[in-house]
């Protein structure tokens, strides 16, 4: 952020000297690199406000900008029609950034902006007794990436898995279990052999039957009421279901390399819900309505049901209890909910109610609404009984990665069985995760194996491959890469010979850079900015696109310019060029690694 901030400040100072005021100065990276490194439309915005020619306003701003202050940062400023101001960073600045990136190694882009601030990130949250759905996969992948991003920015982040382990659906399952298998208390132990698939089938069967016989829901509700009232049999059956489900979820989390700080399921709030009801009563926010307790919130027609007419609690009540508890426990600055867009109304109701109850402000909440996955056949749903088994998908991804690895006979021959399996896992799971993250969380995804495994396109395998390629160049260069700094020149190394200890070779402004080299230098410094933006806008897709851009630019250099043995007649110059290209390689490798890891994707050394 540093460069952007400096520039921003300088522009604001110039504006105030000119007695102009705007609430926000937008600085962007022009799409077309021939328009410079940053551009602002501030002159256009101002000109419209004051009725002047935007080109003139831009010229005034340019003339007023403190050149001295910007001297080191900026090489030139252009004014272009209809009134944009374009900034070109100086080679000195690129050199500084390169040095910084080398020095920081894999920590480049890290910040302590979030120091002292806490964020609760809730994601995954599957439902007990149902298989882990693909929607929960999205939640897990996006939520985990955001968790990593905020940590990287210095926040204290607490991840919560709000398991759906309470609610009327358990009534349905219990009544179904009672019908099929469990005739008496002794049968409950048999439940430990039941699979999640079977439990889910029971739920599907129940729904199918209840479609024609709605009175079955009364039975289900009665069982849930019993569960809430602490009926021993209901509790035992429920506990067995929870155990079976969690064991299966843990297997998926292990496959996905995801873990949680807390797994407080909805049942955790069982004894915390009466407080919510009390609060609502005390504040006169709850009213009785046909035996139920409801709460109305501004601007939403439907009420929030706190207690059903049979006295059973609701999904909403549990969310309110969770908010009260989390706010008291951690005083977070924000609570993020990575949950499907179809729950929009639910969260709007809950957030508004939480504010009325005085638990938190609306600004504390963010519902990151993800879109659906679509398969060729259309939307999948458990209720309809047609499901795509997530574990099958993950396993198939790993098999596809294995096949790709086998295609490279030379590499495959060099690797041990264990190495191969680690790499296939990283590539297969990485492909699934990246494909998801590449989409804006709000957009729908059309599932495509081809796109996930694009070897020359915007996919995890392509980025992982580029990372491995860069690492391989560095290995061949005799630079040791272990330790905190990415470049530890060994005594014989070229960097040492060039007089640079741990640090980047200076790119002297005079030295002529190849287009491929310059384009990498013009990319690196954006990484810290992108990380910030991806976090603050809850859009990991920004980071994906940045990494793809970086990898493409690196491959251009790799393909067009010899890195280890530059074609340069003068040996001193040759050394300098080699060092520069190696430094560019090291920074690319580090950013790809850090970036992919932030997305929850592993980066094998070899591929």
Q: Is 532 in the site for ligand ARG (CB under 6 A)?
A: no
As a 3-state breakdown, the chain gives helix, strand, coil percent values, each rounded to 5, of 55, 10, 30
| 332 contacts ligand ARG (rule: CB under 6 A) | no
Q: Is 204 in the site for ligand ARG (CB under 6 A)?
A: no
- Give the interface segment with ligand ARG, choosing from 61-69, 122-130, 429-437, 444-452 (CB under 6 A): 122-130
Continuous H helices in 18-133: 42-50, 54-64, 67-70, 91-104
Between 122 and 517, CB nearer to ligand ARG:
122
Closest approach, Cβ 127 to ligand ARG, in A, equals: 5
What minimum distance in Å lies between the beta carbon of 236 and ligand ARG? 23
Q: Does 127 bind ligand ARG (CB under 6 A)?
A: yes
Decide: helix, strand or coil at residue 365.
strand
Can you tell me the distance from the alpha carbon of 601 to that of 148, in angstroms, rounded to the nearest whole number? 11
Site size with ligand ARG, rule: CB under 6 A: 9
Beta bridge partners of 365: 335
In the complex with ligand ARG, which residue's Cβ is closer, 228 or 517? 228
Using the minimum distance from each CB to ligand ARG, give the nearer residue, 367 or 506.
Answer: 367
> Interface with ligand ARG includes 203 (CB under 6 A)?
no
Which CB sits closer to ligand ARG, 56 or 261? 261
Tokens of 209: 């039957």
Which of the residues 286 through 325 are near ligand ARG (CB under 6 A)? 319
Among 94-102, 118-126, 220-228, 402-410, which window interacts with ligand ARG (CB under 6 A)?
A: 118-126
State the pairing for strand pair 334-340/365-370.
parallel
Nearer to ligand ARG, 126 or 528 (CB): 126
Phi and psi angles of residue 387, each rounded to the nearest 5 degrees, phi first: -130, 155
List of residues 6+ apart from 2 with CB closer than 8 A: 528
Region near ligand ARG per CB under 6 A, out of 13-21, 124-132, 203-211, 539-547: 124-132
Classify burial at 293, counting beta carbons within 10 Å of its beta carbon; exposed 0-12, middle 13-18, buried 19 or more: buried
Note whether 519 binds ligand ARG by CB under 6 A.
no
**At its nearest, how many Å lie between ligand ARG and the CB of residue 306?**
15
CA distance linking residue 257 with residue 279, whole number of Å = 40
Distance CA 89, CA 75 (A): 5
Residue number, nearest CB to ligand ARG? 164
Which string of DSSP letters, residue by residue, matches 408-448?
A: -HHHHHHS-HHHHHHHHHHHHHHHHHHHHHHS-TTS-EE--
- Contact of 135 with 372, CB cutoff 8 Å: yes
User: CA-to-CA distance for 472 and 564, rounded, in angstroms?
Assistant: 11
Give CA–CA dist 445/454, Å, rounded. Answer: 16
Q: Which is nearer to ligand ARG, 122 or 176 (by Cβ)? A: 122
Confirm or reject binding of residue 224 to ligand ARG (CB under 6 A).
Answer: no
Residue 339 makes contact with ligand ARG by CB under 6 A: yes
Q: How far is the CB of 383 from ligand ARG (least distance, A)?
A: 12
By CB under 6 A, name the one of 87, 152, 269, 337 that touches ligand ARG.
337
Round to whole Å and give the CA distance between 65 and 13: 8
Identify the CA nearest to 583 among candidates 505, 520, 513, 522. Answer: 505
Scanning 120-128, 299-307, 439-447, 545-553 for contacts with ligand ARG by CB under 6 A, the matching segment is 120-128
Nearer CB in complex with ligand ARG: 343/421:
343
Q: Which is nearer to ligand ARG, 73 or 276 (CB)?
A: 276
Q: What are the DSSP E strand ranges found in 1-141? A: 38-40, 74-80, 84-89, 118-122
Closer residue to ligand ARG, CB minimum distance, 436 or 576: 436
Site string for ligand ARG, 150-189 (x = CB under 6 A): ------------x-x-------------------------
Contact of 532 with 576, CB cutoff 8 Å: no
CB 339 → ligand ARG: shortest distance, Å?
4
- Which of the ranges 125-133, 351-359, 392-400, 467-475 carries the binding residues for ligand ARG, by CB under 6 A? 125-133
Complex with ligand ARG: residue 162 or 526, whichever CB lies closer:
162
Residues, the chain, total? Answer: 607
Q: Which stretch binds ligand ARG (CB under 6 A): 66-74, 86-94, 123-131, 169-177?
A: 123-131
Least Å distance, CB 162 to ligand ARG, is 4
Is residue 78 classed as helix, strand or coil in its secondary structure?
strand
Please tell me whether residue 159 adopts helix, strand or coil conformation: strand
- Interface residues with ligand ARG (CB under 6 A) are 122, 125-127, 162, 164, 319, 337, 339
């Amino acid at each position: 952020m540093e460069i952007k901030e400096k520039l921003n400040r300088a522009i604001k100072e110039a504006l105030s000297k000119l007695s102009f005021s705007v609430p926000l100065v937008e600085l962007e990276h022009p799409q077309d690199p021939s328009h410079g490194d940053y551009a602002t439309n501030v002159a256009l915005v101002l000109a419209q406000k004051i009725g002047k020619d935007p080109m003139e306003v831009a010229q005034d701003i340019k003339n007023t900008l403190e050149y001295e202050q910007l001297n080191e940062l900026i090489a030139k400023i252009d004014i272009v029609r209809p009134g944009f101001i374009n900034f070109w960073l100086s080679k000195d600045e690129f050199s500084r950034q390169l040095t910084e990136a080398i020095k920081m190694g894999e920590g480049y882009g890290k910040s302590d902006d979030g120091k002292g601030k806490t964020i609760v990130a809730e994601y995954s949250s599957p439902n007990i007794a149902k298989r882990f759905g693909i929607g929960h996969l999205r939640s897990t992948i996006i939520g985990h990436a955001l968790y990593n991003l905020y940590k990287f920015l210095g926040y204290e982040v607490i991840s919560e898995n709000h398991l759906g382990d309470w609610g009327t659906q358990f009534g349905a399952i219990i009544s179904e279990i009672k019908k099929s298998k469990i005739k008496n208390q002794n049968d409950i132990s048999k439940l430990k052999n039941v699979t999640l698939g079977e439990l889910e089938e029971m739920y599907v069967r129940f729904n199918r039957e209840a479609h024609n016989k709605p009175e079955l829901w009364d039975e289900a509700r009665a069982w849930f009421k019993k569960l809430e009232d602490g009926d021993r049999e209901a509790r035992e059956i429920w506990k067995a279901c929870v155990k079976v489900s969690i064991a299966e979820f843990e297997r998926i989390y292990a496959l996905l390399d995801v873990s949680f700080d807390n797994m407080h399921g909805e049942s955790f709030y069982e004894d915390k819900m009466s407080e919510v009801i009390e609060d609502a009563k005390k504040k006169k926010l709850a009213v009785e309505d046909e035996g139920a307790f409801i709460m109305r919130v501004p601007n939403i027609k439907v009420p929030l049901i706190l207690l059903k007419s049979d006295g059973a609690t609701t999904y909403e009540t549990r969310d309110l209890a969770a908010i009260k508890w989390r706010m008291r426990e951690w005083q977070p600055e924000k609570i993020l909910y990575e949950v499907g867009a179809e729950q929009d109304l639910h969260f709007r109701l809950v957030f508004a109610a939480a504010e009325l109850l005085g638990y938190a402000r609306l600004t504390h909440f963010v519902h990151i609404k993800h879109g659906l996955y679509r398969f060729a056949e259309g939307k999948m749903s458990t209720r309809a009984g047609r499901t795509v088994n997530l574990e099958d998908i993950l396993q198939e991804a790993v098999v596809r990665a294995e096949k790709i690895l086998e295609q490279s006979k030379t590499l495959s021959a060099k690797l041990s069985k264990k190495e191969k399996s680690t790499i296939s896992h990283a590539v297969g799971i990485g492909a699934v995760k990246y494909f998801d993250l590449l989409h804006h969380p709000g957009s729908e995804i059309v599932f495509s194996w081809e796109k996930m495994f694009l070897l020359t396109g915007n996919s995890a395998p392509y980025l992982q491959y580029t990372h491995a390629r860069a690492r391989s160049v560095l290995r061949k260069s005799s630079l040791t890469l272990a330790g905190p700094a990415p470049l530890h020149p060994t005594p014989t190394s070229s960097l040492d010979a060039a007089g640079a200890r741990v640090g980047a070779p200076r790119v002297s402004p005079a030295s002529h850079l190849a287009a491929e080299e310059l384009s990498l230098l013009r990319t690196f410094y954006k990484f810290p900015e992108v990380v910030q933006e991806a976090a603050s806008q809850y859009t990991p897709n920004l980071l994906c696109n940045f990494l793809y851009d970086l990898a493409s630019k690196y491959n251009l250099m790799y393909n067009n310019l010899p890195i280890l043995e530059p074609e340069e007649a003068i040996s001193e110059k040759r050394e300098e060029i080699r060092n520069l290209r190696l430094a560019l390689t090291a920074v690319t490798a580090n950013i790809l690694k850090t970036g992919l890891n932030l997305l929850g994707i592993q980066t094998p050394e070899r591929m």
